[in-house]
Amino acid sequence: MTTSPEPDDWPAWSPDGRFIAFIRFASPDKGADLVVMPGHGGAEKTIATIFPMPIPRTVREVGNLSWTPDGRWLAFGGATSHDGPRGIWLIAFDGSEQRRLTEPPGGHDLSPVVSPDGRYLAFLRARTVGRVAIFLVPLTSGLAPSGTPRQLTDDDHGVIGLAWTSDGRDLVFSAGGHLGISRTARISAAPPSSRTPEPHFLPFGEQATAISIGTGRLVYSAKVRDTALYELALPGPPVTPVALAAFSSTLDEQTPHYSPDGQRLAFASTRSGAEEIWIANRDGSNPLKVTSMGGPQCSNPQWSPNGRTILFNSRRAGSSDLYLLQPDNGKLTQLTDHPADEGEARWSRDGRWIYFESDRTGRDEVWKMPAAGGAAAQITRQGGTAATESGDGFLYYANVATSPSSIWRVPLAGGAEVPVVDGLSYSLNFAVSKRGLYFMAVNDTADRASIDFLDFRTGQRSTLVRLDKPFWFGLTLSPNERSLVFSLVDSGGSNLMLVDGFR
């Protein structure tokens, strides 16, 4: 099964308007082409093969490429070889020279922008999902870094887009929590004094992503996306999934999970402005927000087998940690506090254990810990996430948290890790039944998918229904195995917004 390559990155015009540069993605292993062409049409020229920091599919309107003011260099965030050092790099317009400007201690540096006078480089440092801050470093006349990068904003701002004001004194940025509502703000780039500069939010820019500023004008891309929960009846002949209208809002609903009695659904939603956990009756009535984490991510709720507790992950304290919530009384317990990330957790069938993903070894692997807390043991050694127990003595899990992924399994008693099926749209998009695996599979385009079934007894894979909308995050099987609920993108895109008279 194949998928289409990533779309070309947000194009960058040269300062004199004569050329346009963009990144053409091929594959993660082969890197991407850095392409330059005349702005009014003409032959393309690939000046380098690079390995850029990919922009998440949730904010594809944001670029990771810019020109220096003299038009002689292009800056991007990533690496110049597959296993090479990452950071902000400069590549000469003719491809003859490369130089690295930043060295991130962890995470990734991306979205570089050089000040109009060429004296400063501003960029984003992404420590983890939703935790992205603005950094600033002085440049010499030869465009070399002078000093240590200075952090301008808190990680919690979750910065997305970034641009200099025309006078080079301030930076304008867009920011918002993970999948939440973004806003625009302005912050001084002046050298530090006795007071740390505070960002000032602007009266425009809701759902802003990319930002561009010219003389007296500001243009931003306003993200438009509405994801909703859909249901597919099982078993029976293929039918069209039905939208669960009662769960719909004008924002995102994702990662649904049935309660053990099948009467309620827990899900993540940004309808309150930030991503939080909600619960509602099976028909969508009595929706209730049960968390107020206020952090950059709060997602993936999982009911315990006894229906009394909801397990989820949040980045409220920095890295992603696991939390337990008793929805009846609101009691919240933080289950992990390791500096590494923990997420995409699942209960064991008897409720005594929790399987979770962690990057403690430097790669996402499946770990297991007591449900009441305690020491964790590593289960997988070849990559793993979103692990789910089956009734026949196996642990099924996604190999990687990307798209496409594949589903693997390992015996609960220990043994070989074996791939089972390819083409999984995302690590959260599968469920284990008594008879086999239900999963959203990617098809001929990266965003389109189908609901497929792999029969444990026969080993045969079949397509139940092809989806006419892009897939999103999460899929759950009802306890009686008669329905699937999953998240799809109802509508999406972006609008260009102009602010005239901007100073």
The pLDDT tens digits of the residues spanning 9-36 come to 568 889 988 999 988 876 656 788 999 9
In a domain, 152, yes or no: yes
Average per-residue pLDDT in the chain? 88
φ/ψ of 205, rounded to 5, equals 105, 20
> What is the per-residue DSSP string for 4-61?
PPPPPP--EE-TTSSEEEEEEEEETTTEEEEEEEETTS---EEEEEEEEPPPPGGGTT
Considering the domain architecture, whether residues 244 and 196 belong to the same structural domain is answered as: no
Could you tell me if 302 and 288 are in contact, meaning their C-beta atoms sit under 8 angstroms apart? no
In a domain, 2, yes or no: no
| Dihedral Cα 302, 297, 225, 485, nearest 10 deg | 0
pLDDT of residue 57: 54
Which one is predicted more confidently, 64 or 326?
Answer: 326
Considering the domain architecture, whether residues 143 and 210 belong to the same structural domain is answered as: yes
Considering the domain architecture, whether residues 201 and 269 belong to the same structural domain is answered as: no
pLDDT at 484 over 90: yes
pLDDT of residue 54: 63
pLDDT band with cut points at 50, 70 and 90 for residue 114? very high
CATH of residue 157: 2.120.10.30
Percent of the chain with pLDDT over 90: 62
Could you tell me if 138 and 146 are in contact, meaning their C-beta atoms sit under 8 angstroms apart? yes
Considering the domain architecture, whether residues 209 and 234 belong to the same structural domain is answered as: no
Tokens found for residue 391: 């009734």
In a domain, 237, yes or no: yes
In a domain, 5, yes or no: no
Considering the domain architecture, whether residues 158 and 229 belong to the same structural domain is answered as: no
Could you tell me if 127 and 109 are in contact, meaning their C-beta atoms sit under 8 angstroms apart? no
pLDDT of residue 27: 62
Considering the domain architecture, whether residues 164 and 230 belong to the same structural domain is answered as: no
Considering the domain architecture, whether residues 207 and 282 belong to the same structural domain is answered as: no
Domain of 369 in residue numbering reads as 225-492
Percent of the chain with pLDDT over 70: 92
The SS3 assignment for 444 reads coil
pLDDT at 103 over 90: yes
pLDDT of residue 9: 59
Lowest mean pLDDT among 212-216, 262-266, 379-383, 424-428: 212-216
> What is the per-residue DSSP string for 158-173?
-EEEEEE-TTSSEEEE
pLDDT at 117 over 90: yes
In a domain, 350, yes or no: yes
Q: Span 69-79, mean pLDDT?
A: 94
Written as one letter, the residue type at 173 is F
In a domain, 72, yes or no: yes
Which one is predicted more confidently, 157 or 145?
Answer: 145
pLDDT band with cut points at 50, 70 and 90 for residue 3? very low
- Taking only the tens place, the pLDDT of each residue in 352-397 is 999 999 999 988 999 999 998 899 999 999 999 999 999 989 999 9
Of the residues 190, 215, 240, the one at which a domain ends: 215
pLDDT at 238 over 70: no
Considering the domain architecture, whether residues 309 and 166 belong to the same structural domain is answered as: no
When divided into structural domains, the chain yields a total of: 2
In a domain, 429, yes or no: yes
Considering the domain architecture, whether residues 79 and 110 belong to the same structural domain is answered as: yes
Considering the domain architecture, whether residues 165 and 236 belong to the same structural domain is answered as: no
- Taking only the tens place, the pLDDT of each residue in 287-311 is 999 999 876 789 999 999 999 999 9
Burial (CB count within 10 angstroms: exposed 0-12, middle 13-18, buried 19+), residue 3 = middle
Considering the domain architecture, whether residues 24 and 102 belong to the same structural domain is answered as: yes
In a domain, 6, yes or no: no
DSSP 86: P
